[in-house]
Structures are given as structure tokens and as C-alpha cells.
Structure 1
Amino acid sequence: MYKLLIVDDEPQILEGMKRTLDWASYGFHRVETSETKDDAVSKAVELLPDIAIFDVCIGPDRGYDIINKLNELRIPAKYIMMSGYSEFEYAQEAIRCGVKDYLLKPVERSKLQQVIEKIIVEDLHGNLNGRSSEDLHTDPILGIPYDHLSKLTNRILMMVKAEYAQNITLKSVAECFRMNSTYLGQLFLKEAHMKFSEYLMAYRMLHARELILTTNDKIVSIALSVGYQNMNYFYTHFQSYFGKSPSELRKKG
């Protein structure tokens, strides 16, 4: 049985996160919430959560600073960061303090579910009570198990997941890691067997497909939400990747 701590300074967000998943079905017998830094630290020490979900901003404090404090206290939790902001500095700090994943608000149920299931299987060595877990160990684009990739490549993949909706480039990622972009690109290509730009496009395409099939959002809104300012580029990439247009996919879906 697992314990969960959710930390956000907005009560409605806390209530929403508590309802997003059927936590009990995953084995969580305690779900606690907190709205402040001091209360979060106090509850974490008392609860010793298996998983803790932190907003990046808790009032005047930063979620990753609180996580660093809990790391110093040796709280054995696996952390997830959520944020209404999509900026490199937040994603970078989240990676530095060892979070397992970084989710943008509003948090999508399917994304949260995937992250929780992955942590349960890979980090807590639990099971999903009949749920398929094969895809949790493998990157959906590369088809390579995450534990077969280096720590650096996994950090790059996390950065893409955090920043795909923005103007992320290999150069901006390299600057974030204080590395040469050419060297970083070569390392990524060697492990991933595709260029960074190809991976980014594929990730955006898969996310766009999910939104097309599961929402009624306009195609132009979906394109913008996955990082495309130019609709011609979006349609060209989508047609090339899936062999059909966004509207054709929605009709057949």
C-alpha cells in the first residue's frame, strides 16, 4: 500500500488532483495535501510518502527547493513536478533535484496516469493489477528501454516532455546543460539513432494525435499547443508522419 502527498498553494488544484485518478485502485491508502512549504515538510516527515507531487510555485517558495530540503532529510519519496510555467529554468531545477517527471498544467489525466504507473512499476517494484506495463519501460518513440539509455539522454527526453510546446531547440537544451550543442547532438544521435530535431517532431506529432482523437479542440489550437506557430509546417509534418491529415485522422478515429 502506498502513500501520496500533493503540494500546491491552490486548494482547487489539490482537490482536482485528488479526483484525477482513482488512487485507491493503484494501492494508495493515504492521500495527503499541503498548501505551504512548512506544512509540506512537516507532512512529508510524518507521512514518508512513496510519491510526492509538487507544484513549482508554492506561494513565495519553489517546489524544487522544498524537494531539495526533503532530499537532505532523506525522505524516500519519488517526486513529480507540475507547473503552469514552461520555462527552462524550472525544468532544469526539477531535473537537478531528481524529479521523476515534469508535467505542465492543466495536468492531463492520461499523462499523470502514465507517470504514476511507471513509478509504481519501475521504482516501487509494484504491479498494476492487470494493467499492461510493457510500454512503461520503453520510450514510445525510440522503442528503447529507458534503463538502456544514459542519464544524460534521459534528461534530454525529460526536457522535451517539459518544453515541447515552446521554442525548444538542441542549442537551448545544450545551453541549459552547459554543453556544446554539436557534441550533445552527436551523443543523442548515437544513443537514440535519430536526431534531436526528429525526436522533438515525433513527440509533438504523437501528442497532437492524442489531442485530435480525445478532444474536440480545433486543429489550429492543437498545433499551437504542441509548439507549431506555422500551420503549414504542422500539416506537412503531420501528413508525412501519419500518412493522413489531422482532419482525416479525426474522422476515422
Structure 2
Amino acid sequence: MYKLLIIDDEPQILEGMKRILDWKQYGFSRIDTCESTEAAMSMVVDVQPDVAIFDVCIGKNLGYEAIYRLNELQIPTKYVIMSGYSEFTYAQEAIRCGVKDYLLKPVDRTKLQRVIEKIIVEDLHGTIGHARNESLNKDPVLGVSYDSLSKLLNRILLMIKTEYTQNITLKSIAERFQMNSTYLGQLFLKESEMKFSEYLMAYRMLLAQERIQASDEKISSIALSVGYNNLNYFYMHFHSYFGKSPSDLRGKG
């Protein structure tokens, strides 16, 4: 029913944004991504997405400048800006060009959910009753509501969901929080009842499972897309988690 366009010059952010919400539950049947403002402007003109989410800085260009130019064409797309910067100037310019909201990275799932629901109801005149089912607000690995988890754990889970393709570690996250990695690991384990490494592996495995069952993409490509550079390591983890090989899961061996 709806079309979505996400623009960011970092591929891992694009992948994370495609998975941060269950877009199909909200009626988005088409999701496109772009890594430059030039490509984004052409896509908006050609496809006319219902919603476009722009990063504020795309290479040397600014997302809101592209939105200004698109507004001149009177295309009815609704825009949201996301940014790693909380600078007032950026937010001010975003408001001036009529964006629906300005979200800071890492994008908070609940805030994005509220923005999208508001756009669907107020601007697209749709309904969201079916989208508010319980599973949308549950973590796929832990099986519990995000609302029941601490703010710290939610932030860590968001980082994993947007950076799982990279070499993300407990140590690298602890450095960003300026915390001791051992202490942070203990907090993670106490609240989630899983080690950080176990959660990261489980999340990657669930994504791999989804892609294996939904496509004929090569297993090596899928392994790389979920953060495994070593294919043997991927097979070992996969068999350990599911008790079968990727080809068995796909029903081809």
C-alpha cells in the first residue's frame, strides 16, 4: 500500500533502518534505499514514496537541502530527518523545510514508530490498528517487550540492530558509553539473561534464517551480510543455533 525511501551514505545504517520496524505490518509494500542525494531526488520523482527518511548529512550534501528542492516540485512525500548531530541549526533547517520529525541516531524504535503512525493516520489517512500487535514491541531474541527493558539495554540493542554487519563488540560499546566492559557485560547478562556475544550471535542467526528462507541468495553472501567474514565460523554458529545446516533449512539438502 505505502512506499518508503531511506537515504543514508552508510550501508549498515540503511540495512538497520530497513529492519528497525516491521514495515509490512504498517502497510509498506515497497522499500527503496539510496546512498546519495542525487539518487534520492531521482527516486522521489520517479517513485513518489509516501515517506522518505533522509540522513541530515549525506556525503558532502545536506538532506534538508534536497528536501527544499523536492518541495518546489510539490511532490506529496512526507519527510523525516535522522541525524547523528543534535546541532540546533540542522534541526531548525529541518523544521523550515517541513519535515515531520528530526530523530537522533541511533534512531529510537519507539520514537520512529510514533512518527510513522502519526504520518499514516494524519497525512496518509490510513489506519494502524493491525500494526499495534504485541509482537511489534517485542525483541526477537529475548521475546520480551522493549518497554520492560532498561534504557541502557534498549540503547545497546539498538546499536546491535544497526551495526550487526560490523565488528561490534562489548568492548567497543563500553568505550562509547565510557564504561568498564566487564561491568557492562555483567549488567547486560543480569537483565537479558544472555551474554552480549550470545545475543549478537542469536540476532545474526535470526536474520540469516529469514534471508535463507526468503531468497535463493548464496549462503556466503548471506553470511557476509549478517556480519560473518569467515564462512566456516558462520556454518559452525548456524548449526550450533539451529541444529541443522543452512541448506537443510532451505530444504535443499
> Shorter-chain TM-score category?
0.5 to 0.7
Q: Which has the higher contact order (CA 8 A, sep 6+)?
A: 2
Cα separation, partners in 2 of 1:139 and 1:32, compared to 1, 3 Å: closer
**CA deviation profile, 1:166-190 (whole Å, cap 9, x unmatched):** 1111011111211100111111111
Identity of aligned residues (%): 48
TM-score normalised over the length of structure 1: 0.63
State how far apart, in whole Å, the 1-side matches of 2:53 and 2:186 are.
44
State how far apart, in whole Å, the 1-side matches of 2:233 and 2:214 are.
22
Cα separation, partners in 2 of 1:229 and 1:153, compared to 1, 3 Å: same
Residues 138 and 144 in structure 2, CA contact (< 8 A), matched pair in contact too? yes
TM-score normalised over the length of structure 2: 0.63
SS at match of 2:80: strand
State how far apart, in whole Å, the 2-side matches of 1:21 and 1:190 are.
47
Query: For residue 73 of structure 2, what is the aligned residue in structure 1?
Result: none
Q: Once the 2 structures are TM-superposed, how far is the Cα of residue 214 of structure 1 from its aligned partner?
A: 2.1
Question: Mapping of 1:1-253 within 5 angstroms?
Answer: 9-16=36-43, 23=50, 36=62, 39=65, 52-54=80-82, 63-65=83-85, 69=89, 71=91, 77-79=100-102, 94-95=105-106, 99-100=107-108, 120=116, 128-131=128-131, 133-251=133-251
**CA deviation profile, 1:73-93 (whole Å, cap 9, x unmatched):** 89595456xxxxxxxxxxxx8
Q: Once the 2 structures are TM-superposed, how far is the Cα of residue 117 of structure 1 from its aligned partner?
A: 5.2
Amino acid in the other structure paired with 1:52:
V
Residues 5 and 52 in structure 1, CA contact (< 8 A), matched pair in contact too? no
State how far apart, in whole Å, the 2-side matches of 1:169 and 1:247 are.
29
Residues 6 and 53 in structure 1, CA contact (< 8 A), matched pair in contact too? no
State how far apart, in whole Å, the 2-side matches of 1:222 and 1:143 are.
24
How many residues are aligned here? Answer: 206
Amino acid in the other structure paired with 2:38:
P
Q: Structure 1, unaligned stretches of length 5 or more? A: 44-48, 55-62, 81-92, 102-113
Residues 5 and 32 in structure 1, CA contact (< 8 A), matched pair in contact too? yes
SS at match of 2:159: helix
State how far apart, in whole Å, the 1-side matches of 2:133 and 2:162 are.
23
Q: Structure 2, unaligned stretches of length 5 or more? A: 9-35, 70-76, 122-126
Q: Once the 2 structures are TM-superposed, how far is the Cα of residue 69 of structure 1 from its aligned partner?
A: 3.6
State how far apart, in whole Å, the 2-side matches of 1:155 and 1:224 are.
24
SS at match of 2:85: helix
